Structure 1
Amino acid sequence: MGLIPYDPFQQLQNFRRELDRLFFDFSSTLKGVDTAIAMPRIDIHETDTEVIATCDLPGLEKKEDVNIEIENNTLSLSGTIQRTSEKKEERVHLQERMTGHFRRTITLPSKVSTEGVKATYKNGVLEIRMPKLSNETKKKIDIDFI
């Protein structure tokens, strides 16, 4: 079993994650307020070659409704979920599904390249695959013996 290096900023990241959850829970309880911005939940994991973000965004109807940006090791998602198929004249007794604007910004665990990023949306789940930048600054030099 290998040693896990100590990350002094891990506690700060956990605190930010909890604050995000607090504000998401608060904004999701607001009813009838169009200015509330929901923060969808995101899972982030990495492999040896890429960082993968998975986000639940049920209800997206077209790709123009979501915006994905990567800048300075930060992933930003924003957009709008609209329910155009619902009729306005019906009486609504309970409405818990998210509608309206959403926004989420996450600091990525590794530096990623903006080239070769692939995003797919299937069954209400948005998956973003971002290739890691190669940090290979070490190179073995071959010696020519004469």
Structure 2
Amino acid sequence: MSLMRRDYWREMNPMRETINSFFDDLLTRRLPAISGWGEWKPSIDLLDNGAEYVIMADLPGYTPENVKITVQENTIQLSGKVQEEKDTTEGDFQVKERSFGTFSRSIPLPTQIKPEEATAKFKNGVLEITLPKVDVPTGRILDIETG
């Protein structure tokens, strides 16, 4: 009878390396979107300027013509589409990381805005949306009458 101990951690090492390799590949390669998973969404900043919100969205490769902005009282919906450029040169890609296709992003706002007064500017791949806030009544203090 042998009392030799098995080293389970060492036996599992090839499986662990395979799983690590799978996730490394998954995170470093551009995979097609599967049911919305892995879909590209623009990075944004949401700034509160007191009387208004300002949203800045990075949209490299987009133009104002292929971006749609839908403004509601407490939500902004950004969507867009970029077509892949057809290159006439021959050859095989060695690296292909640029994204093409569509995106859609909904941005909830902390307070209500005035959709009819919203404005948008596009410059150097950055979309800037200005959203004036709804004026909130401040209330007043009542004097109490006596007598």
After TM superposition, the score normalised by the length of structure 2 is 0.65
Aligned Cα RMSD in Å? 2.9
Residues 72, 48 of structure 1: alpha-carbon distance in 2 compared, 3 angstrom cutoff: closer
1:52 aligns with 2:88: no
**Aligned letter for 1:133?**
V
Number of residue-to-residue matches in the alignment:
114
User: 2:23 matched to which residue of 1?
Assistant: none
Task: Measure, in 2, the Cα distance between the counterparts of 1:32 and 1:39.
Answer: 12
User: 2:81 matched to which residue of 1?
Assistant: 80
Identical columns (%) = 35
User: 2:127 matched to which residue of 1?
Assistant: 126
Extract unaligned runs of 5+ from structure 2: 1-25
**Residues 73 and 111 of structure 1 are in contact (CA less than 8 Å); yes or no, is this contact kept in structure 2?**
yes
Q: Report the 3-state secondary structure (helix = DSSP H, G, I; strand = E; otherwise coil) of the residue aligned with 1:52.
A: strand
Hey, which bits of structure 1, 4+ residues long, moved more than 6 A? none
- How far off its partner does 1:130 sit? 0.4
Task: Measure, in 1, the Cα distance between the counterparts of 2:135 and 2:80.
Answer: 31
- How far off its partner does 1:119 sit? 0.6
**Aligned letter for 1:49?**
A
**Matches of residues 1-146 of structure 1 in structure 2 within 5 Å?**
29-31=30-32, 37-61=39-63, 63-84=64-85, 86-90=86-90, 91-139=92-140
**Aligned letter for 2:53?**
V
Extract unaligned runs of 5+ from structure 1: 1-24
**Aligned letter for 2:62?**
L
**Aligned letter for 1:66?**
V
